[in-house]
Structure formats: C-alpha cells, structure tokens
Amino acid sequence: LAKTTQPISMDSYEGQEVNITCSHNNIATNDYITWYQQFPSQGPRFIIQGYKTKVTNEVASLFIPADRKSSTLSLPRVSLSDTAVYYCLVGARGDAGGTSYGKLTFGQGTILTVHP
Amino acid sequence: SQTIHQWPATLVQPVGSPLSLECTVEGTSNPNLYWYRQAAGRGLQLLFYSVGIGQISSEVPQNLSASRPQDRQFILSSKKLLLSDSGFYLCACKTGPTYNEQFFGPGTRLTVL
C-alpha cells in the first residue's frame, strides 16, 4: 500500500476555501485516492474518491495531477462544523477480481480547525 | 443504506479480563466487514476483516480474535485484556461500488485499567 504524507494540522476561518494536500509518491497504477473525514468520538466518513484529474461532489472537490504523486482535497466555504480530522488514503479499489478487499490504511490525518 | 450497531458504546475493563464487542449490520447482505482500532490521538489500525461467514483475516498479531457467526454479525473478542488494548474500536462495512468506500459504525470506547 502506498504511503501518504499530509500536514499534521491546518487552520482556517469560516467562509474560506481550504485545500489539504496529500503526497503519495509511490502510488501504484491501480491505486485510487480516497479521503475520509472524522469528528471526535465518531467513525470516519467517506468524502470523495478519485483516480485522476478532478472529481467533485456535493461536499468537496479532489484534484489529482497527471503524475498522481499528490492530490488536493478542496473544501469550499468551510464552516465551524467542518472542524475535523481529514485522512488521505491510497489503495486499490478492490473491484471484482481484486484481492485488496478494501483494507484501508489510515495515517495520522490532518487536523483542520475552522475559526469564527 | 446501511446501518451499523455497535455495543456497548463504552466499556471499562480490568487488565486480564475477557472482552466481547459486537457489531451488527442492517440494510445489506453478504457485506465485507472490518474491525479497526484507534488509539488516542492516532490514526486507525485495521485489525480484522471478513468477506463472509466464518471467514476471518487478521492484519495484526495480537491477543484479539474475531468471529463472524452470521452474515451481518461481527464479534471482536479477547480472553485476557492488556493495557495496550485500550482504544476506540470501530466496525465498518463496504458500501458503494468500490472497496475503498466504507461505512463506519458509532464505535466502542474501551478503557483497560
């Protein structure tokens, strides 16, 4: 499984756009990039997943450059409720025929604190 | 959509005592199930995963064990707890079209004294 590196913590203010970058230099060809959000005393929550270029959903955007050695999670106009730990994970999707079975490896994550 | 129940929500146990944590899943059949542990201030560590009844794979050697007696039931056990077993235990199941999309339960906070 590819190792990921992301900032330990970030600070922002309400209404700002937040970009969290994750480095994954040894990402494999069949690896996908997945981001999770975790609030205190709760389980992580899936946010977004992508393979290359840009993916957008109702919560966030994920930007992946052509070399796929890094990715950036973008949270538009954050609010106080976005204060959480954000995890970047890299691994095979484990689709039919795969063998990873979705064995996720969580690093330390990025603690995002949104201030009023 | 899936729902995961975990109990108990919190547990305080003495060192050397046994442990049984239960996870049940609703809203899906034949799910891939996972047990994770999160120590205070740290990331999640995958402990066990199961692709079907009676099928358990262990990721980390330890004094814990897991069982899957029914399709939507996943149990984490220990015969003798250690201080290092303290943590936040999370059960998860695969959701969505890819295995990297997992849905997590509310967790059990275990403190071993």
Which of A43, A111, A64, A90 is closest to B36 using CA atoms? A43
Q: Do A102 and B106 touch (CB under 8 A)?
A: no
Instruction: Say how far apart CA B62 and CA A105 lie, in whole Å.
Output: 18
Q: Is A9 exposed, middle or buried (0-12, 13-18, 19+ CB in 10 A)?
A: exposed
A50/B contact by beta carbon, under 8 A: no
A111 is in which domain, residue-wise? 9-94+107-115
Within-domain flag for A1: no
For chain B, the maximum distance between any two Cα atoms, rounded to a whole number of angstroms, is 41
Which of chain B's residues have a Cβ under 8 Å away from the Cβ of A39?
none
CATH classification of the domain holding A27: 2.60.40.10
Instruction: Say how far apart CA B113 and CA B39 lie, in whole Å.
Output: 15
Within-domain flag for A46: yes
Q: What confidence score (pLDDT) does residue A95 get?
A: 55
Cβ atoms within 10 Å of B110's Cβ, excluding its own: 21
Give per-residue pLDDT as tens, A28-79: 888 889 999 999 889 999 999 999 989 999 999 999 999 999 999 999 999 9
Instruction: Tell which of A39, A42, A110 to mutate to test the B interface (max B CBs under 10 Å).
Output: A42
A3/B contact by beta carbon, under 8 A: no
Which of B40, B28, B91, B7 is closest to A44 using CA atoms? B91
Q: Do A32 and B98 touch (CB under 8 A)?
A: yes
B52/A contact by beta carbon, under 8 A: no
Which of B50, B4, B52 is closest to B30 using CA atoms? B52
Fold of domain B3-108: Immunoglobulin-like (2.60.40)
Within-domain flag for A2: no
Within-domain flag for A18: yes
Within-domain flag for A59: yes
Domain count of the fold of chain A: 1
Give per-residue pLDDT as tens, B48-87: 999 899 999 888 868 999 999 999 999 999 999 999 999 9
Residues 74-113 of A with CB under 8 A from B: 87, 89, 91-95, 98, 100-109
Which helix (H) or strand (E) segment holds residue A100: the answer is none
For chain B, give every domain's residue range.
Answer: 3-108
Q: What confidence score (pLDDT) does residue A97 get?
A: 47
Task: Evaluate if residue A98 carries a pLDDT over 70.
Answer: no
Instruction: Say how far apart CA B14 and CA B24 lie, in whole Å.
Output: 25
Instruction: Say how far apart CA B36 and CA A67 lie, in whole Å.
Output: 31
B24/A contact by beta carbon, under 8 A: no
Q: What is the DSSP letter of A5?
A: B
Helix (H, G, I), strand (E, B) or coil at A85: strand
Instruction: Say how far apart CA A89 and CA A109 lie, in whole Å.
Output: 9
